[in-house]
Structure 1
């Protein structure tokens, strides 16, 4: 990234007034340029799309796309370097190996920071609940559905809670002190999820929140919070450490409720066999 900064700085005096506006945006918000079109960049600084393209050509690139790809790669490498300061990547590692190392680092961080007492409280609450509801921001709903599906198979009495659906309002109406909501709240946080958790809290339900930091807005309504960091490379979030945490919760639930889980999974396997599901 530093070589790009030096290149733009060295050429700054040769830029037109419009091109200097683009350079200033690059210095202050490189991520915006990395993931926005030339037209969007031009609108941001009030110059034409062609001015943006000519600016990248003046820097020695064939066009905006080549410059943008270079910038994306540089930002990703810089972010990985920062994330791996304690475990620097080998100089001969490929970009893919560095990406995978970032996920390994996130799991090691989870290992060092996880509050095992809180995890055991989560397992106890999941086991004791009459009804379990699993929900999340819409970016996190895949995680919620995967975890909720396993809980339903292993323990029963588990449902997805998806705001805005007819089922959602029925679930909120029935929610009570013996029920638990398990919420996934990773950036970007939605007002809808915060409202759901606040309502659940008022109704006396227990609220478990999995989120990226203690200061998460969802933590305000939580009885128990489990924090786990989410890596973002090239604007793509990696939930590797979240999956590792959930797998640990599932294993603890399996041990705690071994007889019940084993019986339910056996009945499920029988249903699979009766329906001839698998090859």
Structure 2
């Protein structure tokens, strides 16, 4: 990216004040840590005031410090190791109230996602899924349970769904017949998996369309997809916060279900008959 935050800092170095140069040099030297610091903390580390940090962000062209911090986080998130995540996120978590800190971050992420989700793009994705000849769902590592969750419900709505298992040798076997008219729904968040990217390239080479569920326009999945749903997946220490992605999947399932309301109602009516006949839910009272 020619206009990322580090590029802006390097280009603007000659015009910075002494204090701003200290901020700039710290970010260029250790952007991993800087990306998770508050404006106050970054000011303390570089021995400038919080207001100087805020003005620095504005001088770079960002609408305040949070926007610059987000740009930094998107830049570095994809390459941090688990140990670097633990170190970089130290300022985010209140060790005296870990439960509250983590849940509050999840709530903040959900709010940001609600505000940022592109409703038009969401409707495009729903339309492409409903019209697809066959739907392939892929997510590896921490995204694999998201893929499995989506597959569970899509199997009750569609007859044409394949959950692509993430074992390296099996992915291409399972996608061997993918082609024009099919959709690969690829789920991927930092650190982006090369296995996911290989599957995406394979699907595109075969003429299928790729829909991405990922975190930002800097994601490698974004540039390779015909439609993308961007959702915040914040890092909390070594953990990927999946609160917002799960909520987005719930919205997607409900939206697709409404588009195929008759089929969905018929499927669940049949399932209720099966569940009732074979006593799937509940238990017998032996007393």
Same fold (TM over 0.5): yes
In the alignment, which residue of structure 2 is the partner of 1:144?
A: 147
In the alignment, which residue of structure 1 is the partner of 2:100?
A: 97
Q: CA deviation at 1:274?
A: 2.7
In the alignment, which residue of structure 2 is the partner of 1:156?
A: 159
Change (3 A) 1:94 1:172: closer
Q: CA deviation at 1:165?
A: 6.8
Tell me if the contact between 2:172 and 2:199 (Cα under 8 Å) persists in the aligned partners.
no
- 1:79 matches 2:92: yes
Deviations 1:50-86 (A, max 9, x none): xxxxxxxxxxxxxxxxxxxxxx9996562259xxxxx
In the alignment, which residue of structure 2 is the partner of 1:111?
A: 114
Q: Whole-Å Cα distance in 1 between the matches of residues 211 and 121 of structure 2?
A: 10
Q: Whole-Å Cα distance in 2 between the matches of residues 255 and 158 of structure 1?
A: 18
Q: Whole-Å Cα distance in 2 between the matches of residues 94 and 73 of structure 1?
A: 17
In the alignment, which residue of structure 1 is the partner of 2:128?
A: 125
Q: Whole-Å Cα distance in 2 between the matches of residues 128 and 142 of structure 1?
A: 25
Residue segments in structure 2 that go unaligned for 5+ positions in a row: 1-28, 34-84, 283-287
Q: Which moved more, 1:154-163 or 1:237-246?
A: 154-163
Q: Which protein has the larger Cα radius of gyration, Structure 1 or Structure 2? A: 1
Alignment match of 2:199 (pick from 196, 201, 208) = 196
Q: CA deviation at 1:121?
A: 0.8
In the alignment, which residue of structure 2 is the partner of 1:250?
A: 253
Residue segments in structure 1 that go unaligned for 5+ positions in a row: 1-26, 32-71, 82-92
Change (3 A) 1:30 1:248: closer
In the alignment, which residue of structure 2 is the partner of 1:217?
A: 220
In the comparison of the two structures, how many residue pairs are matched? Answer: 202
Change (3 A) 1:255 1:237: same
Deviations 1:144-194 (A, max 9, x none): 001111101122211111244776444322111111111111112121111
Q: Whole-Å Cα distance in 1 between the matches of residues 91 and 238 of structure 2?
A: 13
SS of residue in 2 equivalent to 1:222: coil
